[in-house]
Amino acid sequence: MTEPRALTKGRAFAGCTVALVTPFRDGELDEPALRQLVDWHVAQGTDAVSPVGTTGEAPTLSHAEHERVIDTVLDQAAGRVKVIAGTGSNSTAEAVRLTRYAAKAGAAAALMVAPYYNRPMQEGLYAHFAKVAESVDLPIILYNIPGRTGRNMEPDTIERLARIESIVAIKEAAGSLDQVSEIVARTNLTVLSGDDSLTLPMLAVGGEGVISVAANLVPGDVQSLVRAFQAGDVAKARALHFKLFTLCRELLGLAVNPIPLKAALALLGRGNGELRLPLTPLDERGLLKLRATLEAYGLPLAST
């Protein structure tokens, strides 16, 4: 059996967390569909769900809707699955407010994306997360995704933040195994993959799980990959990596996430595919390629 790294702080959040979509209908939050999604993931044995992140189209939600999604997911989960609420913002005061709300509502942890658009310096990134951590009693999972935020959280900054007790893990989506290796070597944070196609390589250098887009479709396979590696069955983990690889790449490559994912859910009869502007539906060429990928994977398409 492969031994996990000793003493990582966020071990409770290792495994497979799904980066949950936010369903809409006629422009409004579709609460019944959101509740059905939570029930489906409970039935699938998903380790945790993470609403109102990138995949959940959080930037298009009003403050009231953001809170309503957190409340709805927590209410429906009813303790059956951990809920890691997205509470990031490019405003430190707003991140504090959202994180306090998630803590009061009963979330197990907060997933906090680095501030976006205003592109703070490394000292600003440190001060932002430190301020939230000192203001709210809730475990914090950092989320580094420079392709979205315009600024990479450097290993030096992450190492400083790791010294703060309530900062327990990081969702790392910079696409650099060198950076992952530095974080593993220099901190006791639990490192979670933020790129589905890199989950196995990240596990190989000390990662302990994934916050997954693909798990919206195939949580069992994503979870099995992580568990196989943790059990020392590298051959099974590698086989699952290659089974998932094309699906994972296309969910993030045919268009910006969650456009392909919502299209896939609609093709599988598990959603209507509705997005909020400025996101627009996948084009016909992309749909044909996605349909073929789903069929090749063995997922049953809904009848049309």
SS3 content of the chain, % helix, strand, coil (to 5): 50, 15, 35
Report the DSSP pairing between strands 15-19 and 48-50: parallel
- Say if residues 237 and 200 touch (Cβ distance below 8 Å): yes
Per-residue pLDDT averaged across 276-304, rounded?
94
Asked if pLDDT for residue 85 goes beyond 70, the answer is yes
Q: CB count, 10 Å around CB of 84?
A: 29
The model's pTM is: 0.95
Pick the CATH number of 11-232 from 3.40.50.10610, 3.20.20.70, 3.30.465.10, 3.40.50.1950: 3.20.20.70
Q: Which of 49, 52, 32, 33 is nearest to 41 (CA)?
A: 49
159-198 pLDDT, tens digit per residue, is 999 999 999 999 999 999 999 999 999 999 999 999 999 9
pLDDT for the residue 49:
98
Q: What is the pLDDT of residues 98-148, one digit of tens each?
A: 999 999 999 999 999 999 999 999 999 999 999 999 999 999 999 999 999
**Is 289 annotated as catalytic?**
no
State how beta strands 48-50 and 167-172 pair.
unpaired
Query: Annotated catalytic residue: which of 82, 101, 143, 262?
Result: 143
What is the amino acid identity at position 10?
Answer: G
Catalytic residue among 9, 82, 171, 262: 171
Q: Is 117 a catalytic residue?
A: no
Q: Give the per-residue pLDDT at 7.
A: 81
According to DSSP, the residues that pair with 48 across neighbouring strands are: 17, 82
